[in-house]
Amino acid sequence: MNKPRPLKKGDQVAIIAPAGPADKEQLTQGKRVLEEMGLDVVLGRHVFDVEDDIETLDQKRLSDLHEAFRNPAISGIFCANGGFGTARIAPMIDYAMIKRNPKIFWGYSDITYLLNAIQKFSDLVTFHGPMVASDLNDEERTRETESSILSLFTGEPLTYDSRRSPLNPITSGTGEGRLVGGNLTLLTNGLGTPYQVNADEAILLIEEVQEPAFKVNLMLTHLQQAGVFDTIKGVVVGHFQAEPDEYKNIKKVLQDFFARASFPVVENFQIGHCQPNYGVPLGVNARLTTSPSRLEVDAGVSCFSTNGGG
């Protein structure tokens, strides 16, 4: 799996919106955060576009994605926000071009579909992390969320333990493998497609937003019956955003589902639809332990990666 090169001050990065139009005020606020890190930020031409025609909309989103990867002046690509529809553009992406132009690609939620597709067909490490408009705006942003982006500059590995949030083991043990996954709905939607997550001997990250407990159970069961859990080495349970009463039901679903798992499962990682929202690279090696509860993740960027031509 190829790693993109790290960012440095003065680098140009692009913001695109492949899952839905960005809120202008929130995007402006989030853009300023990246600029204060020393980055030169450019916007995709269609980040605010709304179209009634789905085909036209998909072509606009695709063109922003392709232009950002193809442009040698751009070192990183940050998604503005989530939404829906990235599965529609996945078959149209020029993965060979992306493989020739490896660079940081950062987002989550509906972007999960693209994170997994680019990993699979471009052999490129991708990043599950806070998005510019929805997570870095003035109302939502926390210092921890903002600081999680700094690993893109330093190339340091990540250690996530109980100093960041209380981590609760559901099943005990130690597991090591590639960190893969993302939003539970998108992972389930990808089953049976060319873009299905490859969880073979991997550590699987799952997170979700505003889905009821019964649907969480259905999706986990779907993954199980599709063989996703057959050879995995561990499960990292990120944030499951829900109203307090429903969250209790979700926690019971998770506890019951994983109670007899043969691999370690740890819950309450602040990854996903939450604040703080910690960014993590996907496709790199990780180690999950339960005594103590800790996730160690290799760096997602490499000083030895170089960009090729488009």
Which residues are catalytically annotated?
109, 207, 273
Q: What is the DSSP letter of 174?
A: E
For 201, the 3-state DSSP assignment is coil
Separation between Cα atoms, residue 188 and residue 285, nearest integer Å: 23
DSSP per-residue codes, 225-276? HTTTTSS--EEEEEEEE--HHHHHHHHHHHHHHHTT-SS-EEE----SSSSS
Amino acid at 101: N
Which residue intervals of the chain are DSSP H helices? 24-36, 54-70, 86-89, 95-100, 112-122, 132-135, 143-147, 151-154, 184-189, 213-225, 244-258
Of 116, 135, 136, 138, nearest in space to 126 by CA: 116
